[in-house]
A and B are shown apart, each in its own frame.
Chain A
């Protein structure tokens, strides 16, 4: 027992060096060569950092493509989902309100076609993406409010659709921050 205790203690110290100093140092070193130097890929606009490529941010103004509802209001020093169960009446009422609000803001969208991600909160509360359908459903509204031809805004969305990786694995998606940045430059022209 005493021998075990001494061995356990000394081996623990040695492994702390190996697993918690040497190993992370190698990964950290490699990170210096990675995009964003391991600090997260930042996106700049007009000379200031406006966000991180991977981290969703709040877009709720109607002239932007809106991001999904978020349980943490897109405060990225925290994260989390709503944790509401599928039969929770209070939650279902909230979703119903979101559906109605979306239909009102986007009169061209018919009931039954409201993109589900725009009325449900993501797991992280920081989802940076929409499905292509989720972006297309907002085209009419955005084009109207910005005085742009709908066809051009639609083409802009199409240019931002990211296909499944290796052509066939996983869902298609649109990065909302990238899309809205492109939208702002389109409006200025």
Chain B
């Protein structure tokens, strides 16, 4: 029992210890300073030459966004093509069919926005080719896209007045060659030696010891699982994601995968301090994020390790905790830790089934996605946090009667409008989506009877979770929801798109506008943003804006369920 708690403490400790030097390294890479990885420069020059890219050209924030959206469009068309024709393409030893257009649309969008709402199951829904060239490719490039947006904001916050914020393609290519690929190799090799398959052989039929016939799915899984975690995409090779004993074979792989997915988001926070030469600022940010994380983690670990009181009453020994949907080799503590880290960070891989978690755990996971700023997905997590910082600066400025300033730049009406639109988009997407789905279900219960796997409050939670997951670009689900229908494929697809690009464009625009403003050196009259007081302020802004907006919905779902159980 206690070895499970020590296990998660070690996972978190190692993550932070690795993130600190990685943060310094990231700052070096994006500043273009000398580093040990300069031996990759010729490879990068080759990529620029193939792409016809002038690496020295500085871009404005608008040019960055045009480049970003253009390349994203190319990836979308490419992914649609692969998914709709996979059945006749090579590397399909199990003979899986092509996807229906609405499912392909949802899948392509989902991975394009670095999410993994998988309305299919990997074993039967994809071929090895589409796993590698479709899904895994997007796991690399969309993670890099998020990192670029984050670095553009870093760049804009330096003490100077400019409209040139670096080159999109340089940031993008370096994110892949110097960060994502090397780290993926390390993780991939660990997985392979722990027993994760990396093979092009199809599923193997066999007769079990007691004489049943079965077949075991395999595939080129290890390479993909490494980047699925590091890029915080979360899309699993197998249907059960990291609960699957081949995708996550041991407690050690569980630790490695869990560390991998939290690593870059935390490292980017430290990178901020090195990049701007404002170390204290990154400690404040890290402190706020960690406080939010621990507040969600503690109740989840507690309730999962306690187990389901309704099952205890029947005469089961609850020593192991709530084991429905969990694996013995991972245990309840590591499953709870994974559940929270994967929802605060918009990764969305699972090592246990969230639908079967205790109500308060399910609520904490939803809150992780509703706030979406405690560490957050690679790159985009910091962007969300940045929006809350801008709002907090504005409110603090009004409270003390000074012009709101952030790092020497005035925050004015235009930036505030953008920040508020981005901050309110998130609850709008989630609550409007859930309301529409709930309305459809109630007005025609027989037509949509297949949607919900559970009755009552929990059924409502399943719908709420799905839109929360889509809006946070998370991708995990209360998987009991029968979500491979045109309604869910299309509506969540639209939510995914809006909730990816507006929260990227908004903060980058704010940063771009700030960068072009006059820089006023800090003085005694400046609002300090690297103090505990300001950290507390941001913390409350996040809870008030992001969490309270959802309170009524949470009361109808997980809270009501909790009080019906205890």
Contact = CB atoms under 8 A, between A and B. Distances in A.
A89 B565 CA distance: 11
Nearest to B311: A95
Given A48-B207, A54-B195, A120-B324, A87 B70 contact: no
Interface residues of A, number: 107
A121 B199 contact: no
A186 interface: no
Interface in B145-181: 169, 173, 176-177, 181
B75 A111 contact: no
B324 A78 contact: no
B124 A56 contact: no
A24 B220 contact: yes
Contact of B198 (A38, A131, A133): A38
Nearest to B455: A88
A99 B216 contact: no
Nearest to A56: B245
B140 A15 contact: yes
B523 interface: no
Interface stretch (B23-31, B351-359, B491-499): B351-359
Which of A55, A91, A124 has the most chain B CB atoms closer than 10 A to its own CB? A124
B321 to A, nearest CB: 8
Interface stretch (A138-146, A150-158, A161-169): A161-169
Given A27-B192, A123-B326, A39 B199 contact: yes
B353 A82 contact: yes
Interface in A32-49: 34-42, 45, 48-49
A38 B3 contact: no
Nearest to B459: A85
B318 interface: yes
B222 A170 contact: no
Interface stretch (B236-244, B277-285, B385-393): B236-244
A180 B218 CA distance: 24
B124 A77 contact: yes
B51 A122 contact: no
B331 A171 contact: yes
A92 B239 contact: no
B22 interface: no
10 contacts: A5-B70, A18-B47, A18-B176, A28-B200, A30-B188, A57-B214, A78-B124, A86-B458, A115-B316, A129-B329
Given A6-B52, A75-B215, A85-B458, 4 more contacts: A92-B314, A124-B238, A164-B7, A164-B251
The 10 A-B pairs of least Cβ separation, nearest first, read A123-B243, A83-B480, A85-B458, A111-B315, A81-B353, A170-B251, A11-B51, A8-B71, A79-B240, A129-B328
Interface of A: 1, 3-16, 18-20, 23-24, 26-28, 30-31, 34-42, 45, 48-61, 64, 68, 74-89, 91-92, 95-96, 99, 103, 111-117, 119-131, 133-134, 164-165, 168-173, 177, 180-181, 184
